[in-house]
Amino acid sequence: MFRLLTSRPLVCTFPQQSVRTTPLRASRNISQSRRTMTPLPIIVCGKNPSIATAVRERMLPEYDVIHIILSVESGMRDIPLLLSSQFPANSSSNHGSRNYTKPPVAIALGGGFNDELFNQIKDSCKDVPSTIWLRVDTSKMAGPPKPEEMEKYGRATAERMKKKLGELRVSEEGGVKEGVFCF
């Protein structure tokens, strides 16, 4: 019996006389496993702290929400700094993890940021390294969630965000490195 240690049980049994000439394939590729070990840094922009916090919690373990932006002004001030590997002022009170050791691989904006607000934030970053921008597809929204549904809405938003980042293969070789995408 041969046992390979992975996050999921994987047991392969080979007859003693046979010789395996093809490599074993795990159920997840190396970059997905790496993501589990080291979360990729992202920024989340949302106007509601409850939703943003629920998104942050649900993004783990694959993604680390290092900074949460709650207004256009803070987005225009903090995102260019973070993309340039600099610390924003007054970051000690931020609801993100504040793990600023690496620049974010993506910026995600919630439904509270319309086209004009999105463009203001994005335009403030024109002189810094480009990145992936994610936006909620507002055409699929029925409107803002009810107060009792905020946490559930945040979790659902995080799942859609994770799915889109996975489709883009963020931080993988050959994956998308910049652009604007809806989720």
Residues of the chain with pLDDT under 70: 1-37
Other Cβ atoms closer than 10 A to 166: 14
Which of 133, 153, 158 shows the shortest CA–CA distance to 142?
153
Q: What is the CATH number of the domain that holds 105?
A: 3.40.50
Q: What is the pLDDT of residues 164-175, one digit of tens each?
A: 999 999 989 999
**This model's pTM is above 0.95:** no
* pLDDT for position 34: 46
Indicate whether 168 belongs to any domain. yes
- The 3-state DSSP class for residue 168 equals helix
Indicate whether 4 belongs to any domain. no
Longest dimension (CA), the chain: 68
* pLDDT for position 1: 42
* pLDDT for position 30: 41
Q: Which domain holds residue 72?
A: 32-182
Indicate whether 13 belongs to any domain. no
Q: How far is CA 102 from CA 39, 114, 148, 166, in A?
A: 11, 28, 35, 19
* pLDDT for position 180: 98
Indicate whether 129 belongs to any domain. yes
Indicate whether 139 belongs to any domain. yes
Q: What is the pLDDT of residues 11-52, one digit of tens each?
A: 444 444 444 444 444 444 444 444 446 999 999 999 999 999
Indicate whether 1 belongs to any domain. no
Indicate whether 172 belongs to any domain. yes
Number of compact structural domains in the chain: 1
Indicate whether 16 belongs to any domain. no
